[in-house]
Amino acid sequence: MTTQDINANQNLFDPEPLRDWSLGFITGHRLWVILLLLSGTALLYLIQHIIWPVRQQPQTTVEHIWAYGAILWCAPFIFNSLGLLGIVLFRHPKNLDEAERIENLVCWRIVSRGINVETLTTTIRRCQAEMAKTPLFPYVIEIVTDTESIKLPVPNKDLRYIVVPKEYSTAKGTLYKARALHFASQYSNLSDNAWVVHLDEETQPTSSGIKGICNMIREEETSGKKRIGQGAILYHRKWKQYPALTLADNIRTGTDFAQFHLQHKLGVTIFGFHGSYIVVRNDVEKSIGFDFGPEGSITEDAFWGLVAMERGFRSRWVEGYLEEQSTQSVMDFLRQRRRWIQGLAKVALHAPVKLKWRASIGFNTIIWNLGPFAALYTIAHFFFGFAHPWWLRFLANYSFASFILLYLIGLKANLDEYRVENFFKRVSWYFVQIVLFPIFSLMESLAVLMALRPISGFHVVKK
């Protein structure tokens, strides 16, 4: 990207995508979201009235302090409200099927330790199959690994391997996936005008994702903005084998349509990046690199995103889905979240960018870390609770309902893509999602407590 390109993108927010706000505000999707939020909030009031028809007013100073501990319930208010804005702004794409072929080479880049050979092989085959069905651009699959003897498909014109030498080290001592990504950015033979789509081992393209990526690249090449793209990821691929853990990960899809959709509408990564489904032009990626040192090697995706914003690059939303699968055990679920929490804390503290880029991630990480304390307060409140001011009670109920909404938004997207059309089956899944919500919240809180203990290494979950 040239200096002119960067200067053209220096505005912190791009208001253009938000101008459709007044165009048909109450659509079916938006009406469904608003009604769901209002119904959830009203239901919480009803449940509270049944459980506590009469609430004792606090009298002593200690009782007043304890009553105002309910502010913990309101901690996610800002985060969830921004997410609600992102959900309301979302519009289901109508032009994906109109995507026309482009000639830019697209590289599906996958970093692998070589442990999950079966999963990686399945992803390679899925990439080839989907590209055969939707051949909208020339492509190549790059597998970046530091393991030489892996029983994977043989390389050919659409599949190549980049082996990171064991003795390779970066100038800043970068580790793990970031080290491999930096090596690939230096030594891949991709042309500068090729585009890279980053995938995890278990992330697989879909027809809609390919069409969305194609449309994005065409628009960015035409405009010359060369923005970095990201879209929504679904987690239903092993729903039958791991139904509960799939439901637990619906929060991730819900957040994609909420906070992540909003930030990419604005053009800035105030909540970070996922490591998968990043779409970036090769010359942009090479100009940034991934040599961030040990502090930037845990959640290298969010670290990289902030550095990109600091250097003048901007982001955008990509239509269409990619598919992943959830973790296969509760312990891997907890370890995965623990790594994210510890990594994001390092991003907020150590990313070499201005405070304005780090502040939002730092604030959200703090809110995340308050989860266990809010859970403990909730349990204690059943035995030792008092009446709360109306505004505090409203904010708490709204925050709680909007958090559940993220799970339901994610569930709906996965049900639609999984083609669950039977009304009673869909209602049953919504019911189970709500019933299991306290357990999922407890799991997230346990991950926060686990993150309080520093660990070394990079845990790769089994998928």
For 153-222, give the DSSP string.
PPPBTTEEEEEPPTT---TT---HHHHHHHHHHHH----TT-EEEEE-TT-EE-HHHHHHHHHHHHHHHH
pLDDT tens per residue, range 98-113:
999 999 999 999 999 8
Q: What is the mean pLDDT of residues 136-151?
A: 90
Q: What is the mean pLDDT of residues 259-283?
A: 95
Task: Report how far residue 37's alpha carbon sits from residue 169's, in angstroms, rounded to the nearest whole number.
Answer: 50
Which two three-digit tokens encode residue 151? Answer: 């029983």
The answer to whether 263 and 360 have CB atoms below 8 angstroms apart is no
pLDDT of res. 136: 98
Task: Report how far residue 181's alpha carbon sits from residue 197's, in angstroms, rounded to the nearest whole number.
Answer: 12
What is the rounded (10 degree) CA torsion for 397, 402, 408, 409? 160
Which position has the token pair 């794409």?
93
The burial of 287, by beta-carbon neighbours within 10 Å (0-12 exposed, 13-18 middle, 19 or more buried), is given as middle
Which two three-digit tokens encode residue 373? Answer: 């304390």
pLDDT of res. 458: 63
Q: What is the mean pLDDT of residues 409-425?
A: 93
The separation between CA 13 and the C-alpha centre of its own chain, rounded to angstroms, equals 20
The answer to whether 12 and 310 have CB atoms below 8 angstroms apart is no
Name the pTM for this structure. 0.90
pLDDT of res. 6: 42
* pLDDT band, residue 3 (cuts 50/70/90): very low
The answer to whether 158 and 129 have CB atoms below 8 angstroms apart is no
CB contact set of 72 (below 8 Å; sequence gap of 6+): 370, 373, 374, 377
Phi-psi region of 312 (alpha: psi -120 to 50; beta: other; left: phi over 0): left
Q: Is the pLDDT of residue 2 over 70?
A: no
Q: Is the pLDDT of residue 154 over 70?
A: yes
pLDDT of res. 92: 83
Which of 155-164, 277-286, 319-328, 451-460 has the lowest average pLDDT?
Answer: 451-460
pLDDT of res. 113: 85
Q: Is the pLDDT of residue 22 over 60?
A: no
Name the residue ranges covered by the structural domains of the chain.
16-90+364-451, 98-328
Task: Report how far residue 59's alpha carbon sits from residue 144's, in angstroms, rounded to the nearest whole number.
Answer: 64
Question: Which ranges of 355-452 would DSSP assign to H, the alpha helix?
Answer: 355-369, 371-381, 390-417, 423-435, 437-451
Q: Of 23 and 248, which is predicted with more confidence?
A: 248
pLDDT of res. 23: 37
Q: Is the pLDDT of residue 277 over 90?
A: yes
Which of 18-32, 358-372, 396-410 has the lowest average pLDDT?
Answer: 18-32
pLDDT of res. 460: 66
CATH of domain 98-328: 3.90.550.10
Please state, for a pLDDT cut of 90, what percent of the chain lies above it: 79
